[in-house]
Amino acid sequence: LDVYIYDYLVKRNLQASAKAFLAEGKVSSDPV
């Protein structure tokens, strides 16, 4: 699920938010 949220953030062009989310959740950044 975290990967989908990350993917959503990236697609919405929220790079800073996506990176912060990635750092907090330690989510793998694999494309969906």
pLDDT given at position 26: 57
Q: Mean pLDDT in each 10-residue stretch from start to end of the chain (32 residues)?
A: 73 65 60 54
Rounded CA separation 7/1 (Å): 10
The pTM (predicted TM-score) of the whole model is: 0.34
The predicted pLDDT at position 5 comes to 75
HEC profile of 1-32: CHHHHHHHHHHCCCHHHHHHHHHHHCCCCCCC
- Domain segments of the chain: what residues? 1-32
Give the pLDDT score at 4: 81
Question: What confidence score (pLDDT) does residue 7 get?
Answer: 74
Residue 11: predicted pLDDT: 73
